[in-house]
């Protein structure tokens, strides 16, 4: 079997693409394209593959968008709960309790087991406002 016949067989029967054929037959891609373009079935086969890939791509995009929307709806639900919680804590009073403040700013506090209280972390003690509670009893 000549390289020309092998290329035609691989393309039309094995449904391989030009890059795969060029690697298998050990020729350059341009030679594979040249041989295929000389065949009368090439245009029709190329059109069919193009249509098939278009449908495949459309289905992939549809499925991907479905996943993205599902993730966004879960994130939106979490945000709604957090917003509701914040509204409840912040509404009705001009100030919030120390516990509520600690819950909103948990990264700046460290729990001390012996005293059963939360204290401002040492590394940020100098950077915070005087109005921030330095210690919060937690029992």
Do 56 and 31 lie in a common domain?
Answer: no
Do 66 and 46 lie in a common domain?
Answer: yes
- Cβ of 90: how many Cβ atoms within 10 Å? 13
Q: Running DSSP on this structure, what letter comes out for residue 107?
A: G
Do 111 and 74 lie in a common domain?
Answer: no
Do 118 and 86 lie in a common domain?
Answer: no
Range of the domain at 4: 1-39
Q: What is the pLDDT of residues 97-137, one digit of tens each?
A: 788 888 888 888 999 888 889 998 988 888 888 788 888 88
Separation CA 28–CA 14 (nearest Å): 19
The two tokens of residue 23 are 């690697």
Q: What is the pLDDT of residues 41-95, one digit of tens each?
A: 999 999 999 999 999 999 999 999 988 888 777 777 888 888 887 777 667 666 6
Separation CA 2–CA 93 (nearest Å): 87
Separation CA 55–CA 131 (nearest Å): 61
Do 111 and 78 lie in a common domain?
Answer: no
Distance of CA 102 to the CA centre of its chain: 32
Separation CA 63–CA 136 (nearest Å): 49
Separation CA 76–CA 83 (nearest Å): 10
Do 75 and 47 lie in a common domain?
Answer: yes
Do 106 and 76 lie in a common domain?
Answer: no
Supply the pTM of this predicted model: 0.47
> Percentage of residues in the chain with pLDDT exceeding 90?
40
Do 24 and 45 lie in a common domain?
Answer: no
Q: How many structural domains comprise the chain?
A: 3
Do 45 and 86 lie in a common domain?
Answer: yes
Do 55 and 70 lie in a common domain?
Answer: yes
Do 46 and 83 lie in a common domain?
Answer: yes
Q: Which residues contact 96 (CB under 8 A, 6 or more apart)?
A: 89, 90, 104
Do 27 and 59 lie in a common domain?
Answer: no
- Comparing C-alpha atoms, which of 33, 23, 37, 25 is closest to residue 1? 25
């Amino acid at each position: 079997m000549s390289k020309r016949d092998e290329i035609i067989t691989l393309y039309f029967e094995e449904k391989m693409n030009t890059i795969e054929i060029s690697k298998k037959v050990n020729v350059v891609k341009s030679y594979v394209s040249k041989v295929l373009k000389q065949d009368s079935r090439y245009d029709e086969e190329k059109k069919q593959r193009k249509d098939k890939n278009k449908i495949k791509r459309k289905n992939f995009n549809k499925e991907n968008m479905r996943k993205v929307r599902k993730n966004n709806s879960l994130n939106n639900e979490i945000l709604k709960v957090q917003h509701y919680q914040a509204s409840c804590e912040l509404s009705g009073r001009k100030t919030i309790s120390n516990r509520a403040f600690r819950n909103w700013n948990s990264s700046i506090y460290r729990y001390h087991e012996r005293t059963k209280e939360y204290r401002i972390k040492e590394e940020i003690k100098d950077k915070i406002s005087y109005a921030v509670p330095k210690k919060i009893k937690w029992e």
